[in-house]
Every structure is written in C-alpha cells, then in structure tokens.
Structure 1
Amino acid sequence: MCVRSRALALAVALALLPASALHAAPPARTLTLSQALNRAVAASPGLTAADREIRAAAGRGLQSTARPNPELAFEVDNAFGSRSKRNLDAAETTLQISQLFELGGKRGARIAAASAEIDAARWDRAATRLQVLAETAEVFARAAGAQRRVAELEDQVADLDRLTPLLQKRVDAGASSGAEISRGRLATEIARVELGKAKAGFLSARRELAVLIGEATPSFARVGGDIRRIGAPPAFDRLLGRALENPQITRFTAVKAQRRALLAAAQAKAVPDITAGVGWRHYREDKSNAAVVSLSVPLPLFDRNQGGIYEAQETVAKTDAERNVARNGLIILVGRAYESLRASYDEARLLRANVLPVAREAYESIRTGYGEGRYTLLELLDAQAALSEASLREIDALIAFHSTLASLEGLTGTALVLSTKDKP
C-alpha cells in the first residue's frame, strides 16, 4: 500500500499544482501540497499510535513463541510432628523439577494468532495513512479555495474603489446626484465586510492545516497551487473496484486469519496438557536417597472449554458480517462522493464556460456605458454583483471538487486519473 499512498499524494499534488510549479522552487513561506502531505504523515499522532500498535503486536508475537517455564519444588515431609517425628530426625526432603508440555497444537495456534494480529495492525496502519493523506489534501483544498476567495474579493474591492473618481466626476459634471457617491461607498463597504469574512475563513483553514502538519502556529503565509485545475472523473465502476481493495476492507482477511487461529487455540485448550517431573528425595532417618518421578494429566470431565470454542466459532462467523457492513458503508460513501464530484465538476465547468464570460462581458459593457452616461449606477452595481457572485460560485464549486476528490481518493486508496481537457 505504500506505492498506492505515494501515488495518491503525487496525483493530488499534480491536480493542484500549476505546470510551472513542477519545475520551480516554491516561494518563501508558501506551503505546497506535497510538503503538506509529507509533513502530515510525519506528524500524525494517529500514525504514531498505529506504529506503536504494530510494535505492541510484535511484542505479543514474540511472547507467543515462549514455552512454559519449568517449576522447581522443594518439600519437607515427616517433620515437626510428634514423638519420633518431632524434629527433623525422620524428615524426608524432596527437590523436584517439573515441566508442562502443551499438547493439541496450543503453541502453534498461539503463534498463528499473534502473526495474524500483526498483519491486521499493519493493514490498520495503511488505512490510517490513507485517511491522513485524504484529510490533509481536503483541508489544503479548502485553504487554497479560501485564499482564492480572498483574492477575488480584493479585486472586487479594488474595482469598486476605482469607481469613486468616476462617480465624483459625474457628480461634478451634474450628470449624477451626490447620492450615487454614497451608494457606491455602501457597495464598497459591503464588499469589504465580505473580504473580512473571507480572510477569517482563510486564517481558520490555514490554522487547521498547520495542526495537521504538526505546527502549533502556521509557519506559512500562503498555500501553493492552482485550485482552478479540474478534470472529468473516471467511470464509477472503476472507482468502486478500487474501493473494494481499500485497507479498510482487505484488513478483514488478516482479522479472519487471526480469529481462526484463536478458534484453533480454543479447540486445543480442550486437549489436556501433561506435566512431567523428576526429582531427588533424601531420607534423613536412614541417610538414604531415592529418585522421584511424577506425571500429571488433568481429567477433562467437567471443563472441555465448550464455551470458549463456541465463542471463537461465532467470532469467526461474525467476521464476514463485519466485512459486509464495512463493504456496504464504503460503497455508499464512494457513491455519494462520486456524485458530489461529478456535480461540482459540472457546475465549475458550466460556470467557467457559459456564465462567467457572459457576466464579465456584461459588466465591462455596462461599465464603459456608465462612463458615457448610458447606464445608471444601479445597473453598474448589479452587473458587478452578478459577476462577483458567479466568480465566488465557481470558487465554491472548485473547493467542493478538490475536497471531494481528496475524500474519494482516500476511500479508493488510489490516485484518480482525471481528464486534462479542462483548462483554467
């Protein structure tokens, strides 16, 4: 999955980076998507926890190979009693070492369960890594969109500011009333309010991105990339096939192997183990010695671990149901994300191809005509507002496109190859 994760990071980076940025160093204090992804992976506490869990599972795997320790026993019999056994004169001293021998494949099942647990932990780590990449790319897209919104509103405010001399000139010439200056100032101040909100939104997204890359406060002033680069997504069936290879689904293979091994261990537990011992006994009364040999086997009359076996069987059977739950949920999420991606792509494309050119042409025409006295200020402001609304709607669609793209790539676990026919 490392190869797919690198492909995901590269593809999303290429989707947002302009062509010139692929061969040029980023400006100072500008964070690129590839930098954000790399730093997010390095700083993610979720991945740190996943790495620790893999090591913990490896420790349990090491422990699973250990054999039972031998037991050393020391006994004193026929001592501290009465009459001839009052002291230690008739004492019998025994020193014995015993060893438990596991039967029924207990050790092998224990090792198999621990090995499968390590595999499951690694799949969980791969799924977590995809989530980190997708979340970081999504937040980066929102930050890039908020940055673009700020630039758009700054242009709008600057454009309105440039109207002031023209308004004053018309008033001085008697072509307009002084109320038009107040109306123009009102439109400018409203645009400044929207600009302030947009800046606050960018600061919020920048701070969120900083947290994801491990910074308490953002060390970057801007994010790099061109959010206007979009492309048609591939067919849904192809995405769905890739989604079913997501670590969130494939991990159940390791989970089922682990649970089968636990079932084997539960079944092996029903087989009694043997404890064998050998020792030395000393008879103080006549100063003689003798060997001691012992062999003990539990009789499985009452406890044959029936409940443990039944529990393990049901746990194994539950794995398929859990996998189907995860599979159905993933299909639903991929379907929603895909339709959202298609909708935002179509909206951005239509706005760019049909709405924005018309709105821009209308505004330029009315602006020119206003200077010639053919249009009123209200008509000019309406045209400017329509152009601004169309531009901001395109930005919203672009943010939705790239955010959904990041989510979809996280769900499918692979990079999406988009059509390059759509140019900014």
Structure 2
Amino acid sequence: MIRVIALTVLVVLTPAWVPALAQSTGTIPIKASDLLDESEGLALADAMTRAVEGEPELRAARYEVEVSRAVTKQAELRPNPSISVERREEPSGTDNLTAFAVDWPLDLFRRDARVSVATLDADTAARTYDDRIRRLLGEVRDAYGAAAAAVREIVVLDELIAAGTRQLEVLSARVTQGASPPLDRNVLAVDVRRLEADRMLQAGRAVVLMMRLKRLIGLAPEAPLRLRHTIESLVLQDTAVVPTALPEAGVVDRRPDLRAAETRVAASAARVEQAQHEGRVDAGVFGSYMRMNSGFPQQGIGPGATLERVQGVFHYVSAGLRVSLPLFNRNQGALEAAEAQHTAEEAKRDAVRLEAQTELAAARAGDAAAQSARIHVREARVQAAENLAVIQQAYDLGRLRISDVLVEQRRFLELEREYTEALRLAYEARTALRLATGDVR
C-alpha cells in the first residue's frame, strides 16, 4: 500500500517540481548541445595546448626553471675583490696616514664544483617541468574523456525520454479509447519521470566534470566551453595509434620522471664533490699602498742652513697571500650529509624506475582488457537494440504487457551505460598507457 501511494505522489508531483528545479539551477544545461559541438567545440589537442600555456601551477613551474637557470648563472660568477681606504690624523698634530688596500679571493677548487651542482639542479628542474607537463596532459585527457562520457549519458537518456514520451502519448490515446488499461499508462509515466530525474543528475555530473576540465586548461568557471569530440570518436582516435613496441627498459628510460630522478642522483654526487672541495685549502691575494706623513716636535738644520721641524713623507707598498688552513673545520658534517643525500637519491631513483616499470606493465595489461571488453559490449549493445525493437512490436500487437517493454528498455539502458563505461574505461586505459610510455600527446 505504501509503494502505491509513493508512486501516485511521484506521478502527480513530478510535472510541477521538475521544471521548477530546472529553472532554479541555471548552471545545469538543458540540452546536450550546451556541452557538445562537433564542429566548433574545443578539440582535445587544443585543450592540451591551452593547458600547457595557461594552467597556473604549470606556469609557476615554468618560472621555477627560470629560477634554476639564474642560479646557475650566479654560480658561474667569481667572487668580487674588496677595496678598503683608511685615513689617520694625529689629534692636535700634523702627522697623518693614508692607506689603500685590495683583497682578492682566489676561490680555489670551488667554482667548478659549484657550477656543476647548479647546472645539474637546472637540468633537474627542466626535467621535472617536463614530467609535470606529462601528468597535466594525462589529467586533461582523463577530464576530457570523463566529460565526453557524461555527455553521452545525457544523449542516451534524451533518446530514451523522447521515445518514452512518444510511447506515452500513444498509450494515453489507447487508454482513452479503452484499448489499454490505465495502469499501463501510469507505469510508463512513472518510468519516464524516473528517466527525467536521472537525466538531471547526469547533467549535473557533466557540469561538474566540465568545471574540472576548465580548471585544468586555465578557464574561469563561468567561461563557455563545449567539447568537439564524443567519447566514441576519442576511443577510435586512440585505438588507431599503435602503442610503442619498445621493450620496457627502453620506454621507461625515456620518461621525464626517471630522467629527473637520474639528474637528482648526479646532482647529489656533485654536492658530495662540492663538500669535499669546500673542505680544502683556500687562498686569496691582497696588496696595499700607504702614504705616511710623520714628524717630531724637535727642530733641525735643513738644507738651507735654517732651523725647521723634523718631518718626512714615507711611502709603503705591500703584497701578500692569505691561506685558509682546514685544521679543524674540514666540512666533515656537510660531507656526511651530502653522501647520505646521495644514497637517498639513488634509492629514490630505483623506486621511480620500479614504479615506472610497474605502471607500464599494468597499463599494457589494462589496455588490452579494456579494448577487448569494449568490443564485446558493443556487440551486445547491437543485439539489445534489436531485442527492444522486437518486444516493442510485440507489445504494439497486444502480445506483451507494458511491464515487459519497460524491463527490456531498462536492460537496454543498463547496457548503454555499460557501453559508455566501457568506452570511458578503454579511453582511460589508453591514456594510462600513454602516460606510462611518456607519449601523452
């Protein structure tokens, strides 16, 4: 009794609250064409290009590469000399002294190691940036495919709702003529309303997925965006490209994340060498010139046989070598830390390699299974469509009940959704394979 009341309320109230909900949620598109335009929409290749150019986090990573290059430029510079000027005056006297000194650090054994570390850090930043591009493009491909699959769900539901509405009109006419019981019309009306509610949920889900895609390509949430490709065309494009046939070792070595890990290992080894050099002898040269005007209060006989103050101007030039001896501080702590960091980077490199090999093997297996499943579901979908057409004809001839048609229609809807899911999984599996091989574009 409770179920009958609930169904009756749904049939009576649905026509009133469904349009109100659609109007109150203006962000939910009414038609699939609001999300898909196969002639003027955004293509997947263009979406990936826009993501590389405009995604904020990737733009920040691009400047991190510039920072590392500037650090390398700074590391190549030699230390500046220092100049000092000194002036001394005797209070209440005439003596004075003026001195100029130059100090020039030689930076022994340090510059080459410092430049090597900075250069390898710049290489690491560049390869890390390439890996960020790889991951971002993978996210864009996933988001584009998920949105396209959601649009297909809307298209399928629109077709079923349109067919159900036409069928409801015919059935209502038959009920009016007394050719069919009113219960058949009511059952069909409930099923149509259920499809309409399901369509609203799918439309909302599609909008959420489009928002995710906008974020990845650097668009504002309110910016208009339509897709150009359907999920079917995306899958066909991907399956037309044969995955790389290189052995796993060759494929993995080309990946930017592993190349970045390799440069981190090299940079950590360079830091060990830098720590060793910084613990060695260092030296600097210096020189000075001093002019001293000095005298005494006594007087003496000058060259002209006259008395004059005893006074003279003296000039001094000096030069020397300053040596820093590593007696106590030989950079022992920094050297141990650099060696430990080098060992850690080697372990991280091995972990990245193992992860890459695992990803590649899993992606190849997943791609083969997903492509096979997609083909099987596609064949079953064709047969299901034929079965639904036969059952519909049998109902029109009065040989079956409306419930039989609805059961087959729901089976067809489930199969359509399974086919959409199979397409999405096949697309994601091929995207995962592209990511694993490093060839995302």
1:102 maps to what in 2?
107
- 2:410 counterpart of 1:372: no
* Deviation for aligned residue 1:299: 2.3
CA offsets 1:259-286 (integer angstroms, 9 cap, x no match): 2222222111122211211111122213
d(CA) in 1 for partners of 2:38, 2:185: 43
- Aligned partner of 1:263 in structure 2 is 272
Within the candidate set 36, 39, 47, 1:27 is matched to 39
Q: Which has the larger radius of gyration?
A: 2
1:204 aligns with 2:208: yes
Deviation at 1:376, TM superposition (A): 0.5
Question: d(CA) in 1 for partners of 2:78 and 2:384?
Answer: 79
Question: C-alpha separation between the residues in 2 aligned to 1:153 and 1:241?
Answer: 46
**Is the CA contact 1:31–1:220 (under 8 Å) kept in the aligned structure 2?**
no
Relative distance call for 1:119 and 1:380 in structure 2 (3 A) is same
CA deviation string 1:61-92 (max 9, x = no partner): 11111111111123457x66xxxxx5554454
Rounded Cα–Cα distance in structure 2 between residues aligned with 1:87 and 1:70: 36
With over 3 angstroms needed to count, the CA separation of the structure-2 counterparts of 1:62 and 1:235, relative to structure 1, is: closer
Q: Report how many residues are paired.
A: 383
Superposed, which structure 2 residues align to 1:125-140 within 5 Å? Answer: 125-140=129-144
Does the alignment pair 1:315 with 2:341? Answer: yes
CA deviation after TM superposition for structure 1 residue 161, in Å: 0.8
Deviations for 1:192-223, whole angstroms, at most 9, x for unmatched residues?
Answer: 01111111111111222122222113544531
Q: Distance in 1 between matches of 2:156 and 2:61?
A: 42
Partners in 2 of 1:223 and 1:169 — Cα distance? Answer: 40
- In structure 2, relative to structure 1, the CA distance for the partners of 1:302 and 1:246 (3 Å cut) is same
Contact 1:71 1:98 in 2 (8 A): yes
1:415 CA drift (Å): 5.4
Taking a change above 3 Å as real, the CA distance of residues 226 and 110 of structure 1, as seen in their structure-2 partners, is: same
Q: Cα–Cα, structure 1 residues 260 and 235, in superposed 2: closer, same or farther, change >3 Å?
A: closer
Cα distance, 1:252–1:358 mapped onto 2, change above 3 Å = same
Q: Deviations over 1:37-76 (max 9, x none)?
A: 1111111223212221111111111111111111112345
Select the residue among 218, 222, 227 that pairs with 1:223.
Answer: 227
In structure 2, the residue matched to 1:326 is: 352
Whether 1:114 and 2:135 are equivalent positions in the alignment is no
Q: Specify the alignment match of 1:40 in structure 2.
A: 51
Report the CA distance shift for 1:236/1:384 in structure 2 as closer, same or farther (over 3 A).
farther
Question: Structure 1 residues 205 and 240 mapped into 2: Cα distance closer, same or farther (>3 Å)?
Answer: farther
Tell me if structure 2 keeps the 8 A contact 1:363–1:384. Answer: yes
1:53 to 52, 56, 64: 64
Match 1:363 to one of 388, 392, 405:
388
Amino acid at match of 1:32: A
Point out where structure 1 has 5 or more consecutive residues left out of the alignment: 1-24, 81-85, 417-424
What secondary structure is seen at the aligned counterpart in 1 of 2:288? strand
Q: Is the 8 A contact 1:147 1:202 kept in 2?
A: yes
Matched residue SS, 2:254: coil
Structure 1 counterpart of 2:259 = 250
Residue correspondence of structure 1 range 137-156 to structure 2 within 5 A: 137-156=141-160
Residue 339 of structure 1 deviates from its aligned partner by: 3.9
| 8 A Cα contact 2:38 2:229, kept in partner | no
Tell me the distance in 2 between the aligned counterparts of 1:350 and 1:168: 38
> CA separation of 1:262/1:277 partners in 2, compared to 1, >3 Å: closer, same or farther?
same
| Residue 318 of structure 1: how far off its partner (Å) | 2.2
Name which of 321, 325, 336 aligns with 1:299: 325
TM-score normalised by structure 1 residue count = 0.84
Matches of 2:225 and 2:400, distance apart in 1 = 42
Q: Which stretch of structure 1 is more off in the superposition, 320-329 or 68-77?
A: 68-77
**Is the Cα–Cα contact under 8 Å of residues 46 and 128 in structure 1 kept in the other structure?**
no
Correspondence for 1:17: none
Tell me the distance in 2 between the aligned counterparts of 1:291 and 1:34: 72
Distance in 2 between residues matched to 1:36 and 1:197, nearest whole Å: 26
AA paired with 1:178? P
Measure the CA separation in 2 of the matches of 1:138 and 1:146. Answer: 12
SS at match of 2:203: helix
Q: Percent identity among equivalent residues?
A: 23
- The residue number in structure 1 matching 2:414 is 389
Q: Give 1:226 shift.
A: 3.5
The one of 307, 312, 315 equivalent to 1:289 is: 315
* Residue type of the alignment partner of 1:408: L
Partner of 1:414: 439
Evaluate the alpha carbon distance shift between residue 199 and residue 403 of structure 1 in structure 2; reply closer, same or farther with a 3 A threshold: same
Measure, in 1, the Cα distance between the counterparts of 2:368 and 2:413: 24
Shift of 1:346: 2.6
SS in 2 for 1:297: strand
Structure-1 separation of matches of 2:248 and 2:350:
18
User: Which 10-residue stretch deviates more, 330-339 or 289-298?
Assistant: 330-339
The Cα of 1:35 is off from its aligned counterpart by 1.4
Q: CA offsets, 1:290-325, max 9 Å, x none?
A: 112232212221111122222222222222211011
TM superposition shift of 1:124: 0.9
Shift of 1:236: 8.8
Does the CA-based 8 Å contact 2:244-2:437 persist in structure 1?
no
CA spacing shift, 1:324–1:71, aligned 2, 3 Å = same
Asked if structure 2 preserves the Cα contact closer than 8 Å seen for 1:242 and 1:414, the reply is no
CA RMSD of aligned residues (A): 2.4
| Aligned residue in 1 for 2:430 | 405
Q: What amino acid does structure 1 have at the position aligned with 2:49?
A: N
Which residue does the alignment assign to 1:15? none
Q: Distance in 1 between matches of 2:260 and 2:93?
A: 65
Once superposed, which parts of structure 1, at least 4 consecutive aligned residues long, lie more than 6 Å away?
none
Residues in 2 aligned to 1:129 and 1:250: alpha-carbon distance in whole angstroms: 14
Uncovered stretches (5+) of structure 2, i.e. residues with no partner: 1-36, 295-311
User: Structure 1 residues 164, 240: closer, same or farther in 2, change over 3 A?
Assistant: farther
